[in-house]
Amino acid sequence: MRVGNASGFYGDRHSAVREMLTGGPLDVLTGDYLAELTMLILGRDRLKDPARGYAKTFLRQLEECLGEAVDRGVRIVTNAGGLNPAGLATAVRELAGKLGLDGVRVAHVEGDDLGPRHPDALTAHAYLGGTGIAEALRAGADVVVTGRVTDAALVTGPAAAHFGWGQHDHDRIAGAVVAGHLLECGTQATGGNYAFFTEHEPAALLRPGFPLAEIHDDGSCVITKHDGTGGVVDVGTLTAQLLYETSGARYPGPDVTTRLDTVRLTQESPDRVRVHGVRGEPPPPTLKAGLTRVGGHRNEVVFVLTGLDIEAKAALARAQIEDALDRADSRPGEVRWELARTDRDDADTEETASALLRLVVRDPDPEAVGRSLTGAAVELALGSYPGFHVTAPPGKGTPYGVFEAVHVPVADVPHVVVLHDGRRLDIPAPDTTLDLTDVPPPPLPEPLPYDRDRVRRAPLGLIAGARSGDKGGDANVGVWVRTDDAWRWLAHELTVERFRELIPESRGLDVTRHLLPGLRALNFVVEGVLGAGVASQARFDPQAKALGEWLRSRHVDLPEELL
């Protein structure tokens, strides 16, 4: 079965649906539109109009391409339903009628909404698995719309329906989970955001094609892309995606617990990588659920500091603003300063001679972050450091969101499929579950013997790739190398203590290191580094997308033989 992907997030390439439908044969086309931040955006949409709450761009894509999908016999599975899968399913039926495609059968999956149990949350949704999707497809659905499901469920559901897998086919389902994880972020599997991108021709990376998986009955697959499309599919690009937003050897989900330490990647030919050997265990007895809330209001101002005495200029601006905030009617509850030394000595442009001093304030009261900060910053225009100006004047405070992950018993969450003919099917919870316990870490490889007098101080990224991302308030940083000798060095060199030295921001936080020898990889989870999640914008890089690249840029003593 050939399963393609045409969206990795809400806002991905609009033309991807048509490109995937017309670029080559497919059985199923999936689209992932949801992320933690997206749920907050859709929640605010729903406040304005209760009939909304779904990804509107999906409808526009379908208007252009539904006829193409019907003609080619490609079924469409998407989580674009967001907070309102029933509403999107109705909209798709209406669209099909308008296009003269009255025979299109549309089903949707619901039950993930936990809002009544969390009335103080803007959104509250459990992550369902792929079983409901499978039942909808078995009943003949052409389009399946879901709310919050795991990203991999968009692939496990179609695979289970196609091959007739049952809930106890853990190894097969785990293989499909890996395929789904590799597809879910679209072009990140085909060369996008790839650490070693300079090793590929720039023309190949100009417009990466979207990935597809050729899935087999045993759960193995080949990840590839349509012939003639851009990008690269190789062991490196897939290793990077496998490490994205995961943690240790066990990857729990509602369908299965996937053993990432069993994944094997083999380059079969250009742009074709075989994924095999994956093992699975029963799923945990709980489901992850994501809650989003409005956390308060925030505002910011960025002061531009140019030329000489950058530190002194920053100190003066900070002292003046702090004094003004102290004298204001309401001082913000949180005040954070950050100085980015983007300036250079003897610069030949004013921009490269300038540093940026960023001030972020937060408070439940919009007045405390609005009028107070605006007055404090604007009134300094003629009475502060030489060359005073800001990138933009502060305006009114804007609300920000926070994300919280909780776990609920799987039996407490309804999983319901509403078929194209209106019938409702209750999906039973798994009859076998596994309480996750720590997997004993695999043994460390023998350390690499090398001449310690022949080391070179150089960036870690000369030999190691990295991919990082967010999970709520935590960040993960996956680091991998491409030779056995480099793995023997990395596994002993990049300890938790060494990671904290290289990433000072992680000092004082809980950092866990996981070994994945089959991928020659380490995965670090840094707890709390992102505050209350991406929507809270707690740091400069709120989703930790570049945290891995920062790590790669840090200098370490590299054995010359590895270079």
Residues 486-529: tens digit of each pLDDT: 999 999 999 999 999 999 999 999 999 999 999 999 999 999 99
Tell me the mean pLDDT in the region 130-137.
98
Let me know: does 329 contact 372? Beta carbons within 8 Å: yes
Residues 231-285: tens digit of each pLDDT: 999 999 999 999 999 988 999 999 999 999 999 999 999 999 999 999 999 999 9
Between the two ends of the chain, the Cα-to-Cα distance in Å is 42
Kindly list the structural domains of the chain, giving each domain's residue range(s) and its CATH number in brackets, ordered by start. Answer: 2-283+405-426 (no CATH), 297-396 (3.30.70), 455-562 (no CATH)
pLDDT exceeds 80 at position 535: no
Report the alpha-carbon distance of residue 240 to residue 482 in Å, rounded: 12
pLDDT value at residue 542: 87
Cα 478 versus chain centre, distance: 13
Tell me the pLDDT of the chain averaged across its residues.
95
pLDDT confidence tier of residue 226, bands split at 50, 70 and 90? very high
DSSP string, 514-561: EEEGGGTEEEEEETTTTTT-GGG--SSSTT-TTHHHHHHHSEEEEEGG
Tell me the mean pLDDT in the region 398-415.
93
pLDDT confidence tier of residue 339, bands split at 50, 70 and 90? very high
Tell me the mean pLDDT in the region 463-469.
97
pLDDT exceeds 90 at position 123: yes
Place of tokens 């417009």: 207
Residues 72-120: tens digit of each pLDDT: 999 999 999 999 999 999 999 999 999 999 899 999 999 999 999 999 9
pLDDT value at residue 540: 84
pLDDT confidence tier of residue 327, bands split at 50, 70 and 90? confident
Tell me the mean pLDDT in the region 161-178.
98
pLDDT exceeds 90 at position 371: no
- Region of poorest pLDDT, from 16-30, 394-408, 473-487, 531-545: 531-545
Written as six digits, the tokens of 119 are 């009335």
The full 3-state SS of 387-432, as one line of letters, equals: CCEECCCCCCCEEEEEEEEEEEEHHHCCCEEECCCCCEEECCCCCC
CA-closest candidate to residue 526, choices 518, 538, 517: 538
Report the alpha-carbon distance of residue 350 to residue 264 in Å, rounded: 51
**Quick one: 106 exposed, middle or buried, by C-beta within 10 A (0-12, 13-18, 19+)?**
buried
Alpha helices in 432-523, H assignment, sequence order: 484-493, 496-502
pLDDT value at residue 367: 87
Tell me 194's DSSP state.
Answer: -
Q: What percent of the chain has pLDDT over 70?
A: 100
Tell me the mean pLDDT in the region 329-355.
94
pLDDT value at residue 193: 97
pLDDT value at residue 539: 79
- Region of poorest pLDDT, from 170-179, 384-393, 490-499: 384-393
pLDDT value at residue 253: 97
Residue 267's contacts (CB-CB under 8 Å, 6 or more residues apart) are 234, 235, 273, 274
Residue 141's contacts (CB-CB under 8 Å, 6 or more residues apart) are 75, 105, 106, 107, 419, 420
Place of tokens 């609009």: 14
Report the alpha-carbon distance of residue 264 to residue 220 in Å, rounded: 10
Phi, psi torsion values for 317, nearest 5 degrees: -60, -40
pTM score of the predicted model: 0.94
Q: Helix 153-163 crosses helix 170-183 at what angle (to 10 degrees)?
A: 140
Residues 182-213: tens digit of each pLDDT: 999 999 999 999 999 999 999 999 999 999 99
Q: What are the angstrom distances between the C-alpha of 556 and each of 235, 484, 511, 526, 551?
A: 25, 19, 20, 21, 10
